Amino acid sequence: MEKVIKGKAFVLGNNVDTDQIIPAEHLVYSLSDPIESKNYGKFAFSGVPIKDAGLPLGGVPFIVGNNFTSQFNIIIGGSNFGCGSSREHAPFALKVAGVEVIIAESYARIFYRNSVDGGFLIPYETGIKLNDKISTGDDLEIVLSDNKLRNITKSEEYDLNPLGDILPIIEAGNIFEYAKLNNLI
Protein backbone atom coordinates (compact mmCIF):
# COMPACT_ATOMS: atom_id res chain seq x y z
CA MET A 1 0.00 0.00 0.00
CA GLU A 2 1.37 3.40 -0.99
CA LYS A 3 -0.87 5.25 1.43
CA VAL A 4 0.64 7.82 3.81
CA ILE A 5 -1.12 8.64 7.06
CA LYS A 6 -0.22 11.86 8.85
CA GLY A 7 -1.45 13.19 12.14
CA LYS A 8 -1.06 13.75 15.83
CA ALA A 9 -0.22 11.14 18.45
CA PHE A 10 -2.29 10.25 21.50
CA VAL A 11 -0.15 8.17 23.84
CA LEU A 12 -1.44 5.57 26.31
CA GLY A 13 0.02 2.91 28.61
CA ASN A 14 -0.19 -0.89 28.75
CA ASN A 15 -3.39 -2.97 29.01
CA VAL A 16 -5.83 -0.36 27.73
CA ASP A 17 -8.95 -2.51 27.99
CA THR A 18 -12.22 -2.20 26.09
CA ASP A 19 -14.00 -0.60 29.07
CA GLN A 20 -11.47 2.23 28.89
CA ILE A 21 -11.93 2.50 25.11
CA ILE A 22 -15.73 2.59 25.35
CA PRO A 23 -17.39 2.01 28.76
CA ALA A 24 -20.08 -0.69 28.76
CA GLU A 25 -22.91 1.72 29.65
CA HIS A 26 -22.56 3.32 26.18
CA LEU A 27 -22.96 0.06 24.23
CA VAL A 28 -26.65 0.77 23.67
CA TYR A 29 -26.44 3.20 20.73
CA SER A 30 -27.04 2.13 17.15
CA LEU A 31 -23.85 1.53 15.19
CA SER A 32 -25.59 2.11 11.86
CA ASP A 33 -27.64 5.26 12.48
CA PRO A 34 -25.41 8.10 11.23
CA ILE A 35 -26.44 10.56 13.95
CA GLU A 36 -26.83 8.22 16.93
CA SER A 37 -23.59 6.37 16.23
CA LYS A 38 -21.66 9.63 16.76
CA ASN A 39 -22.09 8.96 20.48
CA TYR A 40 -19.42 6.29 20.16
CA GLY A 41 -16.94 8.96 19.07
CA LYS A 42 -18.06 11.28 21.83
CA PHE A 43 -17.33 8.67 24.52
CA ALA A 44 -14.21 7.14 22.94
CA PHE A 45 -11.49 6.63 25.58
CA SER A 46 -13.81 8.15 28.20
CA GLY A 47 -13.02 5.23 30.51
CA VAL A 48 -9.30 5.97 30.63
CA PRO A 49 -8.34 7.26 34.09
CA ILE A 50 -7.49 10.92 33.43
CA LYS A 51 -3.94 10.64 34.80
CA ASP A 52 -3.23 7.97 32.15
CA ALA A 53 -4.80 9.88 29.24
CA GLY A 54 -2.29 11.47 26.86
CA LEU A 55 1.14 10.46 28.16
CA PRO A 56 3.75 11.34 29.24
CA LEU A 57 2.01 14.09 31.24
CA GLY A 58 -1.49 12.65 31.34
CA GLY A 59 -4.60 14.73 31.93
CA VAL A 60 -5.20 15.27 28.19
CA PRO A 61 -8.82 14.69 27.17
CA PHE A 62 -9.06 12.67 23.95
CA ILE A 63 -12.37 14.32 23.12
CA VAL A 64 -12.92 17.94 24.09
CA GLY A 65 -16.37 19.03 25.29
CA ASN A 66 -19.28 17.80 23.20
CA ASN A 67 -17.26 16.94 20.13
CA PHE A 68 -17.41 13.46 18.66
CA THR A 69 -14.10 13.60 16.86
CA SER A 70 -10.62 14.05 18.28
CA GLN A 71 -7.64 16.10 17.11
CA PHE A 72 -5.58 12.90 17.58
CA ASN A 73 -5.77 10.30 14.80
CA ILE A 74 -2.80 8.04 15.64
CA ILE A 75 -2.82 6.08 18.91
CA ILE A 76 0.42 4.93 20.50
CA GLY A 77 -0.23 2.14 22.98
CA GLY A 78 1.89 -0.27 25.00
CA SER A 79 1.34 -3.99 25.36
CA ASN A 80 -1.97 -5.90 25.28
CA PHE A 81 -3.95 -3.06 23.70
CA GLY A 82 -7.72 -3.73 23.60
CA CYS A 83 -7.82 -6.50 26.20
CA GLY A 84 -11.08 -7.40 27.89
CA SER A 85 -14.40 -7.80 26.16
CA SER A 86 -15.27 -8.76 22.58
CA ARG A 87 -17.12 -5.51 21.88
CA GLU A 88 -16.55 -4.41 18.28
CA HIS A 89 -17.92 -1.09 19.49
CA ALA A 90 -14.34 -0.43 20.68
CA PRO A 91 -12.51 -0.12 17.33
CA PHE A 92 -15.75 1.34 15.91
CA ALA A 93 -15.74 4.12 18.55
CA LEU A 94 -12.12 4.98 17.74
CA LYS A 95 -12.92 5.13 14.03
CA VAL A 96 -15.88 7.43 14.63
CA ALA A 97 -13.56 9.65 16.69
CA GLY A 98 -11.23 9.86 13.70
CA VAL A 99 -8.52 7.33 14.61
CA GLU A 100 -6.86 5.73 11.58
CA VAL A 101 -3.95 3.77 13.03
CA ILE A 102 -2.95 2.25 16.36
CA ILE A 103 0.67 1.34 17.03
CA ALA A 104 1.25 -0.94 20.00
CA GLU A 105 3.66 -3.61 21.18
CA SER A 106 0.87 -6.20 21.23
CA TYR A 107 -2.90 -6.53 20.98
CA ALA A 108 -5.59 -8.65 22.53
CA ARG A 109 -6.80 -11.13 19.94
CA ILE A 110 -10.45 -10.09 19.61
CA PHE A 111 -9.72 -6.35 19.40
CA TYR A 112 -7.11 -7.06 16.72
CA ARG A 113 -9.51 -9.20 14.68
CA ASN A 114 -12.32 -6.68 15.05
CA SER A 115 -10.10 -3.81 13.91
CA VAL A 116 -9.09 -5.68 10.75
CA ASP A 117 -12.13 -7.78 9.85
CA GLY A 118 -14.48 -4.84 10.41
CA GLY A 119 -12.17 -2.52 8.45
CA PHE A 120 -12.13 0.12 11.19
CA LEU A 121 -8.44 0.89 11.61
CA ILE A 122 -4.95 -0.48 11.09
CA PRO A 123 -3.41 -2.19 14.15
CA TYR A 124 0.35 -2.00 13.64
CA GLU A 125 2.66 -3.89 15.95
CA THR A 126 6.14 -2.77 16.84
CA GLY A 127 9.03 -4.45 18.60
CA ILE A 128 10.01 -1.12 20.16
CA LYS A 129 8.44 0.41 23.25
CA LEU A 130 7.18 3.63 21.69
CA ASN A 131 4.96 5.03 24.41
CA ASP A 132 8.01 6.42 26.22
CA LYS A 133 9.59 7.80 23.03
CA ILE A 134 6.60 9.55 21.51
CA SER A 135 4.69 12.31 23.33
CA THR A 136 1.02 13.13 22.97
CA GLY A 137 0.67 15.82 20.32
CA ASP A 138 3.80 14.81 18.34
CA ASP A 139 3.34 15.04 14.57
CA LEU A 140 3.68 11.58 13.03
CA GLU A 141 3.78 10.17 9.52
CA ILE A 142 3.32 6.53 8.55
CA VAL A 143 4.24 5.25 5.12
CA LEU A 144 2.32 2.02 4.83
CA SER A 145 4.44 0.58 2.01
CA ASP A 146 7.69 0.60 3.97
CA ASN A 147 6.34 -0.03 7.51
CA LYS A 148 8.07 3.07 8.89
CA LEU A 149 6.82 5.53 11.47
CA ARG A 150 8.34 9.01 11.31
CA ASN A 151 8.17 11.36 14.27
CA ILE A 152 8.35 14.78 12.62
CA THR A 153 8.35 16.67 15.93
CA LYS A 154 11.30 14.72 17.33
CA SER A 155 13.01 13.90 13.99
CA GLU A 156 13.06 10.19 14.74
CA GLU A 157 12.12 7.11 12.76
CA TYR A 158 10.92 3.75 14.07
CA ASP A 159 10.35 0.35 12.43
CA LEU A 160 6.91 -1.22 12.46
CA ASN A 161 6.29 -4.93 12.04
CA PRO A 162 4.93 -5.83 8.59
CA LEU A 163 1.18 -6.46 8.66
CA GLY A 164 1.67 -9.96 7.24
CA ASP A 165 -1.43 -12.15 6.82
CA ILE A 166 -3.86 -9.34 7.59
CA LEU A 167 -2.56 -6.99 4.86
CA PRO A 168 -4.82 -8.47 2.12
CA ILE A 169 -7.87 -7.97 4.37
CA ILE A 170 -6.87 -4.35 5.11
CA GLU A 171 -6.28 -3.71 1.41
CA ALA A 172 -9.64 -5.24 0.50
CA GLY A 173 -11.42 -3.06 3.11
CA ASN A 174 -12.84 -5.70 5.46
CA ILE A 175 -13.37 -9.46 5.76
CA PHE A 176 -16.42 -9.43 3.47
CA GLU A 177 -14.64 -7.60 0.66
CA TYR A 178 -11.66 -9.92 1.10
CA ALA A 179 -13.90 -12.98 0.94
CA LYS A 180 -15.61 -11.68 -2.21
CA LEU A 181 -12.28 -10.98 -3.93
CA ASN A 182 -11.17 -14.51 -3.14
CA ASN A 183 -14.46 -16.16 -4.13
CA LEU A 184 -15.05 -17.36 -0.56
CA ILE A 185 -18.60 -15.99 -0.56
Using CB under 8 A as the criterion, which residues of the chain lie in contact with other proteins when the complex forms?
Answer: 15, 17, 19-20, 23-25, 27-32, 47-49, 79-80, 83-89, 106-110, 113-114, 117-119, 165, 174-176, 179, 184-185
Least spacing, CB of residue 119 vs other proteins, in Å = 8
Query: In 58-143, which ranges are continuous DSSP H helix?
Result: 89-96, 109-117
Residue 7 or 47: the one with the smaller Cβ distance to other proteins is 47
Cα-to-chain-centroid distance, residue 143: 16
Residue 52 or 139: the one with the smaller Cβ distance to other proteins is 52
Cα-flanking dihedrals φ and ψ of residue 125, to 5°? -105, 155
Least spacing, CB of residue 173 vs other proteins, in Å = 11
Least spacing, CB of residue 15 vs other proteins, in Å = 6
Least spacing, CB of residue 171 vs other proteins, in Å = 16
Residue 27 or 143: the one with the smaller Cβ distance to other proteins is 27
Cα-to-chain-centroid distance, residue 113: 12
Separation between Cα atoms, residue 65 and residue 89, nearest integer Å: 21
Least spacing, CB of residue 136 vs other proteins, in Å = 19
Residue 31 or 143: the one with the smaller Cβ distance to other proteins is 31
Nearest to 88 by CA among 69, 115, 108: 115
Residue 14 or 153: the one with the smaller Cβ distance to other proteins is 14
Strands across the sheet containing 122-125: 122-125, 101-104, 74-76, 4-11, 139-143, 148-151, 156-159
Residue 104 or 140: the one with the smaller Cβ distance to other proteins is 104
38-75 as b/e, with b when 16 or more CB fall inside 10 Å? bbbbbbbbbbbeeebbbbeebebebbeeeebbbebbbb
Least spacing, CB of residue 107 vs other proteins, in Å = 8
